[in-house]
Structures are given as C-alpha cells and as structure tokens.
A and B are shown apart, each in its own frame.
Chain A
C-alpha cells in the first residue's frame, strides 16, 4: 500500500517537473503533497496528516495566485554542447550516492522492526512527566521547548522577509 502511493508520488513529481504548462505543473505538484497525507495516515501520524492537508491547500492557492499574476509559459529546452558530459557525470554521482545510501541504511534496522533506543525515554515516562495524553504535544512543548521556540522565530523571520520583499514602496512615503 505504502509502495503504491510512493510510486504515484514519484510519478507526480516527475510529471510536475517536466510539464509544458506551469499551471499543470502546480496541479501535479499537488499529487505529491496529498499523497504524503495518505502516507502519514498509514504510518500512524494523524497530527502530521492534519497539518499537511491544510498546508498543501494553502501552498497550492499561493502558487496558483503567483502563476495567474505572471506567466504560464514554460521555457523551451536547449541542448548544450556539453550535454553528454553532464549525463555521464550525473550517472557517476547517482551510483556513488546510492552506494553511500546503502551503507547508511544498513546501520538502521529493517523497516518497521525496531524503534530507536532513544524512543523509550520519551514513550514510557512521557505521560507522567508532562501530564499530556498526546505524546507528540508533550514532546513539542515540554521536552523540546527550545526547538519550538526556534521554529517560531524562523516562522516570524520568514514572514518578515515576505513582507519586506513584497512591499513596493516604503511606509514613510504614504
């Protein structure tokens, strides 16, 4: 089940990158995000599915707004003289990357067999330490509070960046 949805997501990603029209590229990008929602539901993460389904919708709305305000045309493909060298180079990179990925994942256990040893420290005393029945919320706001504070700061900075970039004229001129 998980494999089928992952293959569908890869297909959607490839089509989204190769589409000739930017609007259809954005719609195909939606396949990846909504497929991820189903993956989260299968992997027993309902909190993440709840966030991802709304976030994906808002992302699609913003992307469609941007594209309808500018252009829908995709640029033509130009074959440079060094294309063969690029293809060979990327294949070498791909083989190296696969080799090291195999090395790394052989350290991890087989998928779905064991948890990391660290998880016992969060699962067993989690409810008693934090008093929260939802362990994810307990981890976010109690064990890992500094992390959440940092993420909130990053969110604030990103929003300030959007406002600074999008403003056409300064506030004092009005």
Chain B
C-alpha cells in the first residue's frame, strides 16, 4: 500500500503517539475507569492502522510480513493461559483463575490482584489480532496489484 500526501503523513505522525498513549492509559486503568483490555487493545490497533494507512506498509518496517504480529498474538494468549493456570499451583486449594494476589485498597492503581495483569495481556492479544487482520488485507491488495 502506498502512502498519502505529506500533510497527512505529518499529522498522523503527531497524532499516532498520542492515540497510542491513550490506549495504554485505557488498558492500565481498566479496573478503575471505563475501559479495559478489550477497549484499549482496539484503540492501540487503531493507532497502528492509522500509521499504516498514512505512510504505507513499507515505512512501518512491517515489510509485507504478518509473522511478527501473529507471534505476538499467540504469545499473549499463551501468557493468559499461564497466568490463569498459576492459580492451580499456589495455595492449599488450587483453582484455575484463582486471584491469589492481595486485593489492596479499592480505587488505587495497584489493587484488584491479577485483574491489571489480565488487562495488559488481553490488550496485547486484541491489538495484535486486529493488526494481523488489517495486514492480511493489505498484503492481499499488494499481491493483486503485482
């Protein structure tokens, strides 16, 4: 996919970082404010898609390969399973999805045990999945144009 004009490139360069930071904020504060892993992951994927549309797929060093994002997605879902399965080992009664970290004070950033960890893992998984889907369509278009 070719890039757009220089105005669009400059504006997207400035905006993309801000959107990315906003996505990270939404993921990290998922247990305090509206949002969470799913919403933040979709926003992060939107930032990357904006970058790809404005600059073309070569500029982002993705090189028409979707393997990087695909590996990230598989790794994230494995990490989700590993964190969930770690509850089976700890404690006298082992349970899948056991939340054995201390709960902390409600309303603080470091609270709610494993829920922020799950949020981060799911955010990585959703964003990598959506970028992979978008890259698949981009690769299709380039192979047709050839």
Contact = CB atoms under 8 A, between A and B. Distances in A.
A141 interface: yes
A133 interface: yes
B129 interface: yes
Given A131-B106, A155-B125, A69 B141 contact: yes
A132 interface: yes
Interface residues of A, number: 39
Interface in B105-133: 106-107, 111-115, 118-119, 122, 125-126, 129-130, 132-133
A64 to B, nearest CB: 11
B34 A50 contact: yes
| Contact residues of B: prevailing secondary structure | helix
A152 B39 contact: no
Contact of A51 (B42, B53, B99, B133): B42
Contacts, number: 128
B39 A58 contact: no
Interface string A141-162: 1100110110011011001001
B39 A50 contact: yes
Contacts of A62: 133-134, 137
B11 interface: no
| Contact residues of A: prevailing secondary structure | helix
Interface residues of B, number: 53
B56 interface: no
Given A65-B137, A131-B115, A134-B32, A145 B49 contact: no
Interface of A: 46-47, 50-51, 54-55, 57-58, 61-62, 65-66, 69, 127, 130-134, 136-138, 140-142, 145-146, 148-149, 152-153, 155-156, 159, 162-163, 166-168
5 contacts: A50-B39, A54-B46, A131-B115, A132-B115, A162-B133
Interface of B: 26, 30-36, 38-39, 42-43, 45-46, 49, 53, 66, 70, 73-74, 77, 80-81, 84, 96-97, 99, 103-104, 106-107, 111-115, 118-119, 122, 125-126, 129-130, 132-134, 136-137, 139-141, 143-144
> 8 closest Cβ contacts across the A-B interface?
A131-B103, A145-B97, A131-B112, A46-B34, A132-B31, A132-B112, A141-B118, A166-B136
